[in-house]
Chain A
């Protein structure tokens, strides 16, 4: 099926601050096409003198929300595009976008087998799209999210994930913090490692389909650990964000 992926002008409908450094941008698209969870959109900025900067951002929203998409973007100080989105763009402004793009790091429920999602920082964004899609369609496929953040304040979609997990329909969410200072924290308290993965993924069995997204080193380490635990490489799909946590670099 050949479809075209052309640039279109989207309109910024709303901005939501998720954390101190992360915002979610809701865009309405004149040529909205149903996406698959895990895909991304490219954003292209053009200065009056013709200079362009282009970056990719994972779609955070479920495909069931027609006509619009959510992109969750971390503000990177040295970043040209993220700083523009955070500091300059206001609702009503236009943004040139292209998508949805990506055919490999996608899950739409058509794969059978339980789902293991491993996220580092803003790597949770495409995995959130998968979780939201699962909820929107009433799927009961056993799904576990292991989500690493620096501190509690850095967790994205915290309340929403808690609420979805409380439905007890097969979704379980595990958090780990790497720079936690609170004694009241009840989740894991360290970087994702072999022992943590073993504990979280074992109950899902051997037919598990794994998606790992986040900083390159976290992704590599988790992927290697899962292979050590007996999961076949072909069952593991990765999306490395590079060092800063953005898709396709700063």
Chain B
């Protein structure tokens, strides 16, 4: 692990999807981070909590921890939430 000068702030600010579990609650009305999902790009199946979260920009981008491609994209505007789930083969939550 390198020391400082070439530290990538972008990399440092990456979080796990459990950092947006509150937002996922707002959208799905359920705790999502322990639920499985399947990456539409590489087929990796894992809990939503394993997705890598980039949430410092204009929206939240959750990426597959295996292939790095976008699984979920979420934008919050003052009166709406946009969800792009094309990167997930499926999403599920339990009754």
Question: Given A104-B49, A105-B49, A248-B55 in contact, is the A2-B13 Cβ separation under 8 Å?
Answer: no
Residues 87-118 of A, flagged 1 when their CB comes within 8 A of B and 0 if not, give 00000000000110111111000000000000
- B17 contact set on A, CB distance < 8 A: 104
Looking across the interface, which residue of chain A has its beta carbon closest to that of B65? A233
Residues in B1-40 with C-beta less than 8 Å from chain A: 1, 7, 9, 11-22, 25, 29-35
Question: Is B1's CB under 8 angstroms from A217's CB?
Answer: yes
Q: In the complex, which range does the number of interface residues on chain B fall in?
A: 20 to 34
Which residue in A42, A104, A247 is a CB contact (below 8 Å) of B33?
Answer: A104
> A232 → chain B, closest Cβ, in Å?
12
- A240 contact set on B, CB distance < 8 A: 14-16, 19
Question: Is B15's CB under 8 angstroms from A241's CB?
Answer: yes
> A82 → chain B, closest Cβ, in Å?
16
Looking across the interface, which residue of chain A has its beta carbon closest to that of B33? A104
Which residue in A2, A98, A105, A249 is a CB contact (below 8 Å) of B18?
Answer: A105
- A56 contact set on B, CB distance < 8 A: 19, 22
A191 lies within 8 A of chain B by Cβ: yes
Residues 224-250 of A, flagged 1 when their CB comes within 8 A of B and 0 if not, give 000000000010011111110001110
Could you tell me the distance between the alpha carbons of A26 and B30 in the complex, rounded to whole angstroms? 26
Could you tell me the distance between the alpha carbons of A238 and B32 in the complex, rounded to whole angstroms? 16
Question: Is A103's CB under 8 angstroms from B33's CB?
Answer: yes
A221 lies within 8 A of chain B by Cβ: yes
Question: Given A2-B29, A2-B30 in contact, is the A249-B56 Cβ separation under 8 Å?
Answer: yes
B64 lies within 8 A of chain A by Cβ: no
> B61 → chain A, closest Cβ, in Å?
14
Question: Given A216-B11, A217-B1, A217-B11 in contact, is the A101-B31 Cβ separation under 8 Å?
Answer: yes
Looking across the interface, which residue of chain A has its beta carbon closest to that of B48? A104
Question: Is A104's CB under 8 angstroms from B34's CB?
Answer: yes
Which residue in B12, B25, B32, B46 is a CB contact (below 8 Å) of A216?
Answer: B12
Residues in B61-79 with C-beta less than 8 Å from chain A: none
Looking across the interface, which residue of chain A has its beta carbon closest to that of B3? A191
9 residue pairs A–B, Cβ–Cβ below 8 Å: A103-B49, A104-B47, A104-B48, A106-B34, A215-B12, A234-B46, A240-B15, A247-B19, A248-B19
Contact surface of A with B, Cβ cutoff 8 Å: 1-2, 4-5, 42, 56, 98-99, 101-106, 191, 215-217, 221, 234, 237-243, 247-249
